[in-house]
Structure 1
Amino acid sequence: MSVAEPRRIILFRHAKADWPQISDHERPLADRGRMDAAVAGRRLADTGIPLDLALCSTAVRTRETWKHAVQELPHRPKTVYEERIYEASPGELIAVLNETPDDAHDVILIGHNPGMHALTDILASRAEGDTRARMNAHGFHTAAFAVLSFDGPWKSLEPATATLTEYWAPTE
């Protein structure tokens, strides 16, 4: 694969979490979250994007979201659980993505809001159709994902270098 071919990033917000009296990092998914994560996984499979790598926050709700979603995919990508994704700013998330090996073409990052929404806005200098309007209308709902494409190696990913090609949320 040449680095001149567009790369794709899927920014996937965790599904609906429960609110038990435990630390935020340890919060599990609610029943609805488990169902929405599986639906999101089926929708991810429908995109036909052959994921090479999954970068997932270490929070329980993101790990559970990925566990339910990945079962719906035709191919299970290598998964890396990354502590830096939890409570990360858009700049910190870009730094994580900049470290991605160039042999990974299509990457999914499973994380949290407000980071997922802000990162999508910061990276996407352009958007196809009404994708940005739909994303902003919903506020990057739980179990939603955005697909972005960009040209070049991962270390060149920076603000305004990508195109928002798709946005999906279970509430649409």
Structure 2
Amino acid sequence: MSVAEPRRIVLFRHAKADWPQVNDHDRPLAERGRKDAPVAGRRLADTGIPFDLALCSTAARTRETWKLAVQEFPHRPKTVYEERIYDASPGELIALLDETPDDVRNVLLIGHNPGIQGLAEVLSGSAAADAADRMKRSGFSTAAFAVLTLDGSWKSLEPGAATLVDYWTPSE
């Protein structure tokens, strides 16, 4: 694969979590989250993006979201559970994505706000149609995802280097 071919980054926020008396990292999905995650998985599958790699936070709610969403995929991508995604800033997420091997074309990152929304905003040098407006209106709700394209290698990922081409939320 040539680095001249656009790469895709999909930023997927975990589905709605419950608030039981456990530490934040161990919070499970709420009933609504268990319903929204497969819907988001079907919508991700409908994009037709052949994901090469899924990077998922180690938090319980992100792992559960991914487990429910990926069942809707025609092909399960390689999945890496990455503790650095939990509570990461946009800069820390960019540094993590910079480590992606050059032979990987499409990455799905399953994480948390405010990092996911912040990363989408920081990376988006431009946006297609009304995707940025829809993302701004929803505040990057739970089980939502943003699709960005990047020209160049993963190491060229920096603020403003990507284009926001789509945004979806379960409330649409």
TM-score norm. by structure 2 comes to 0.99
Segments of structure 1 that go 5 or more residues without pairing to the other structure are none
CA offset at residue 31 of structure 1?
A: 1.1
Give the equivalent residue in structure 2 for 1:54. Answer: 54
CA distance in 2, matches of 1:128, 1:53: 24
Instruction: Map 1:6-155 onto structure 2 (within 5 A).
Output: 6-155=6-155
TM-score (norm 1): 0.99
Unaligned stretches of 5+ residues in structure 2: none
Deviations 1:146-165 (A, max 9, x none): 00001111111000000000
Runs of 4+ in 1 over 3 A off after TM superposition: none
Q: Distance in 1 between matches of 2:132 and 2:109?
A: 19
3-state DSSP of counterpart to 2:45: helix
Letter in 2 for 1:41: G
Give the Cα–Cα distance (whole angstroms) in 2 for the partners of residues 125 and 151 of structure 1: 12
The AA in structure 2 aligned to 1:73 is: F
Count of residues in Structure 1 that have an aligned counterpart in Structure 2: 172
**How far has the Cα of 1:78 moved from its partner?**
0.2
